[in-house]
Amino acid sequence: MPYFPQAATNDLIESSVSPSANINLRHYWHVILERRWLVIATFVSVFVLCLVYLYKAPKIYQATTRIQIDRESSTFNLQDLVVSGGADTDYLQTQYKNLMSRSLIEAVIKKQKLNEDPRYAKELDIAEAVADDITVAPIRMSRLVDVRVEHTNPKKAADIANTLVEEFIEQNAVLKQKRTLDTLFFLKAQANSLEKDVQEAEEKLHNYRTQVKFVSLDERYNVIAEALSQAQSRYTDAKARAENAETVIVELEQHVKAGKPVETFPAVASDPVVKDLQRQLTTQENDLAVLLKRYKDKHPTIIAARSRIDETRKSLDRTVQNLVETLRAEARLTRVTEQTIGSNVKDWEERLTEWTKAKKDYDILVRKADTSKTLFNLVLSKMKEVELLGKDRANNIRIVDPASVPVKPIKPRIVTTLLLGAFGGLAVAIGLALFVNYLDDSIKTQDDVETYLHLPFLGYVPNIKSNSVVERDLQSHLHPQSNASESFRTVRAAIALGSKAGKMRVLTVTSTIPSEGKSLVASNLAIVTAQTGLKTLLIDSDMRRPSVHKAFQLHSPVGLAAYLMEKAQSIDELIHTTDIPNLDVVCCGATPSQPSELLGSRRMLQFMQEVSKRYDRIIMDCPPISAVSDPLVLSAMADGVVYVTKFNKIRREHARKSIQRLLDAGIHICGVVLNDIDFEGRDSYYYSYYYYQNRYYSSYYRSRSTGSTSSTAEQAETKKS
C-alpha cells in the first residue's frame, strides 16, 4: 500500500511567531544545564569582584547624635497671616534641610579643620564631600532626629556629628531672635494699613448688592443653572434622535447606490407589512414555478399567476416607498426639533453667563472683605503674642544623646556583601544564560518545527557515531536494531500515516545547506522502504556533490548524468542492484558542467516516467535548497519533499525562507526530519525522555544484535561450505 503523504499546506509562513506560553521550570533548568559553564564562570566572576571589593574597601565608622525639635512657639512668619498656627510638617522638613545646609557644613569644616583631613583634602568641593557622609534620619511618629556621620576615623566621626548639631542649635537661636524683632516691626506697620482696607471692602460689598438685578447670588438657589441643565438634557436626546434618523437615511442611500433592493434594507425589511408582502411574493413565485411544470406560458392559469405576482410586487414597491418617505420625514422632523431645543439652550446659557459674572464679582468682594477682617484680627493677636514672647530666650531644639566614639565599623558589611555577591552572581549568571538562550534561534525541537516552520514533524535521527560513509548511509541495513534504524522507521511510519499518502510515489530529500544529513536520510529511508517489500529506487540527483556511490561502494559507475547527456541510451545501464532486497540505486556518475539544465531537460522527464513504471517507490537525493535551484526543478517532478535540518545548526529564519521557496513554487512538503541529535551527550537536555527510552530498550537491542550476529555467522559458514 502506498505510504507517502500529501505535502504540507502552502500557507505563508509568518516572519515571527510568539513562542508557546507553556514553558515550565524544567525548560529553564535545561537551559541552565546546557550553559552551565557560562553560569559558573559568571557566578565566580561576580563573587570574586565582591571579594576584591571587601579586600580594598576602607572601614567606615558611624557616629550618631540624637536631637529633639519641638514646635517653635515664639516665632512668626507671613504664612501665619493666612493659616492659623502654621504647618508643623513643613517646619520639621525645613529643619531637616537646614541641618544639611552648605553654610552650616562650612562652619563645621572651619571649626574641625576638615580641609586638612586626609579623607577630604583631595576633594574639589569639600562641603559636598562632607555632606555625602552626613545623614539626617527622622524617627517616625516623634520629634526626634538622628544625625549620623560616617568617617574612617571613629573619633572624627563623633566630633563632626556633635559639632554639626551644636552649630545648628546656635544658628537657630540667633535666627529666632532676629525674626522676632523683624516681625514686631512688620506687624505694627500692617495693622494701620489693614484697618483702612476692612472699611473700604465692606462699603464696596454693600454698594454692589444694591446694583445687581438678580434675586439671589447664592449657589444653592441657582434656578437658572437648573433650567439650563434640563434644557441641555432635552437637547442631547433630540440631537441623538436626529443623528440616528439621518444615519438611517445615509445608510439607505448607500444601500441603494450599491445596487441592492430597497426592501432588503434592515429598517424596511423589518416592517411587518413588507415581511407579509415578501412572503406572499415568495409563495406566489413558488406556485408559478410549480404551474410552469404543468402548463405553458400562455395558459390562463399561468397568466393569472403572473398577474398576481405583478400586483403583489407593485404593492410591495408602494409600501417600501412609503416607508422610505416616512423615514425621510422623520429625519427632517427630528432635526427641526433639535434646532428648536438648541435655541432654547443658548438663551439659558446667556442668562447663566450673566448670573455667573455677577456671582464672580460678588464673590471677589466677599473674599476681599473676609480676608481683610481675618488679617486685621490676626495682626492684632500676633502683635500681643510677639510682645509677650519677645523676652523668651528658650530654644526649641536640644540634644538628647550626644555622639559617642563608635567601636565597630558599619562598612563594608562582610556577610551582607558576600550574600549579595552570591545571590547577585547567581541571578546575573542565570539571566545571562537565559539571554544567550533567547538569542539562540536555531531549530532544536519538534515544537520549533511545528511553531516556527508550520510544517509536520516526521521524526528525530540520532547522531551516528561513525566517520564511515558506508556505516552511516547504510545504517538501517548494517545495524537494523540500532536506535538510528528505529528512527528511520519512525520517519517512514510518520510519512505512511499522513493524509492522502497513496498519491505519492516519488519523494525528494533536501535540506537548507550542505552537511545536514540529507544523503544519510535519503539512503536509510530508501533502505527501510525496501524492507517493507516495496520495490524501491534510490536516485543520486545531487550532480554537484554526489555521495550515493560511496555509500554503496560503486566505483566509476555509469550514472544519471551520462543518461541525461545521451552518453547512455538505456536506463538499464544506470540501475545498479544492491545487496539489499528490493532496493536499486542510480548514481550520479561524472559531475556535469550544467546540472540545472540537464535536470530540467525533457530527457529527465522521460527518465522519471520510465522508472515510475518499474518501481513502487522512488527516493531522490537532491542538493540543498539555499545553494542551488536544482531542488526546485527536481521537486516539481516529485509528489512530495522530505526536508532535513540538522540539530542546533540552522536558524529559523534561514530555514523558513528556504521552505518558502518550495512553497512559492507550489511544491508539497511532507514534513521535517531533525537530524544528528546526541541523545546521550550534549543534546540530552532537550531529549532526556528519548534517552531513557533508549536505555529501556537497550537490552532488547543487545539480544537481537547478538542473535543477528550468530545468524550471520551461520549463514557465512553455510555459504563457504
Backbone torsions φ then ψ of 40, nearest 5 degrees: -65, -45
Number of Cβ within a 10 Å radius of residue 620? 27
Q: Residue 182 is which amino acid?
A: D
**Strand, helix or coil at 645?**
strand
Q: Provide the CB-side half-sphere exposure for 443 (13 A, CA).
A: 32
Q: Provide the CB-side half-sphere exposure for 253 (13 A, CA).
A: 6
- Mean pLDDT over 582-590 rounds to 90
Query: Are residues 600 and 630 in contact, defined by beta-carbon separation less than 8 angstroms?
Result: no
Query: Are residues 574 and 604 in contact, defined by beta-carbon separation less than 8 angstroms?
Result: no
77 vs 656: which has the higher pLDDT: 656
pLDDT tens sequence across 546-555:
888 888 888 8
The yes-or-no verdict on residue 271 having pLDDT over 60 is yes
Q: How far is CA 80 from the centre of its chain?
A: 55
- Mean pLDDT over 693-699 rounds to 50
pLDDT band at 181 (very low <50, low <70, confident <90, very high): confident
- Please tell me the distance from the alpha carbon of residue 459 to that of residue 456, in angstroms, as a whole number: 9
Query: Are residues 252 and 267 in contact, defined by beta-carbon separation less than 8 angstroms?
Result: yes
Backbone torsions φ then ψ of 443, nearest 5 degrees: -85, 125
- Please tell me the distance from the alpha carbon of residue 214 to that of residue 294, in angstroms, as a whole number: 89
pLDDT band at 346 (very low <50, low <70, confident <90, very high): confident
pLDDT of residue 58: 84
Nearest C-alpha neighbor of 162 from the set 179, 182, 147, 142: 147
- Mean pLDDT over 630-643 rounds to 88
How far apart, in Å, do the first and last CA atoms of the chain sit? 40
The answer for residues whose C-beta is within 8 angstroms of residue 83's C-beta and 6 or more apart is: none
pLDDT of residue 17: 40
pLDDT of residue 9: 37
pLDDT band at 45 (very low <50, low <70, confident <90, very high): very high
Q: Provide the CB-side half-sphere exposure for 551 (13 A, CA).
A: 31
How is 403-435 classified by DSSP, letter by letter?
A: ----SS--BS-HHHHHHHHHHHHHHHHHHHHHH
What residue has cell string 563594608? 412
pLDDT of residue 691: 47
36 vs 683: which has the higher pLDDT: 36
Nearest-5° Cα angle at 76, 70 to 79: 105
Burial of residue 262 (number of CB atoms within 10 Å: 0-12, 13-18, 19+): middle
Q: What is the 3-state secondary structure (H, E, C) of 33-69?
A: HHCHHHHHHHHHHHHHHHHHHHHHCCCEEEEEEEEEE
Q: What is the CA radius of gyration of the chain?
A: 49
pLDDT of residue 59: 87
Candidate from 102-106, 207-211, 512-516, 680-684 with smallest mean pLDDT: 680-684
- Please tell me the distance from the alpha carbon of residue 648 to that of residue 440, in angstroms, as a whole number: 9
Query: Are residues 369 and 205 in contact, defined by beta-carbon separation less than 8 angstroms?
Result: yes
Q: Residue 64 is which amino acid?
A: T
pLDDT of residue 508: 92
Query: Are residues 249 and 239 in contact, defined by beta-carbon separation less than 8 angstroms?
Result: no
Q: Residue 311 is which amino acid?
A: E
The DSSP code for 72 is: -
The yes-or-no verdict on residue 447 having pLDDT over 70 is yes
Its pTM stands at 0.50
Query: Are residues 691 and 684 in contact, defined by beta-carbon separation less than 8 angstroms?
Result: yes
Which residues, in sequence order, are bridge partners of residue 537? 584, 618
Nearest C-alpha neighbor of 224 from the set 317, 347, 141: 347
Nearest C-alpha neighbor of 356 from the set 457, 464, 228: 228
Query: Are residues 515 and 646 in contact, defined by beta-carbon separation less than 8 angstroms?
Result: yes
- Please tell me the distance from the alpha carbon of residue 115 to that of residue 121, in angstroms, as a whole number: 5
Q: What is the 3-state secondary structure (H, E, C) of 516-570?
A: CCHHHHHHHHHHHHHCCCCCEEEEECCCCCCCHHHHCCCCCCCCHHHHHCCCCCC
The yes-or-no verdict on residue 75 having pLDDT over 60 is no
- Please tell me the distance from the alpha carbon of residue 597 to that of residue 628, in angstroms, as a whole number: 12
The answer for residues whose C-beta is within 8 angstroms of residue 682's C-beta and 6 or more apart is: 34
- Mean pLDDT over 18-29 rounds to 60
- Please tell me the distance from the alpha carbon of residue 602 to that of residue 512, in angstroms, as a whole number: 27
Candidate from 535-544, 655-664, 676-685 with smallest mean pLDDT: 676-685
**Strand, helix or coil at 23?**
coil
Q: How far is CA 114 from CA 117, 147, 152, 299, in A?
A: 5, 18, 13, 126
pLDDT of residue 500: 64
Maximum mean pLDDT: which of 114-118, 611-615, 690-694: 611-615
What residue has cell string 418617505? 325
The answer for residues whose C-beta is within 8 angstroms of residue 615's C-beta and 6 or more apart is: 535, 536, 537, 584
How is 278-299 classified by DSSP, letter by letter?
A: HHHHHHHHHHHHHHHTTS-TTS
Average pLDDT, the chain: 78
Q: What is the 3-state secondary structure (H, E, C) of 139-195?
A: CCCCCEEEEEEEECCHHHHHHHHHHHHHHHHHHHHHHHHHHHHHHHHHHHHHHHHHH
Q: Residue 352 is which amino acid?
A: L
- Please tell me the distance from the alpha carbon of residue 562 to that of residue 592, in angstroms, as a whole number: 9
**Strand, helix or coil at 641?**
strand
Q: What is the 3-state secondary structure (H, E, C) of 325-360?
A: HHHHHHHHHHHHHHHHHHHHHHHHHHHHHHHHHHHH
134 vs 54: which has the higher pLDDT: 134
pLDDT tens sequence across 464-520:
888 888 888 898 899 888 888 888 998 888 888 876 677 778 999 999 888 888 899
pLDDT of residue 10: 39
Query: Are residues 645 and 515 in contact, defined by beta-carbon separation less than 8 angstroms?
Result: no
Backbone torsions φ then ψ of 413, nearest 5 degrees: -85, 105
pLDDT band at 147 (very low <50, low <70, confident <90, very high): very high
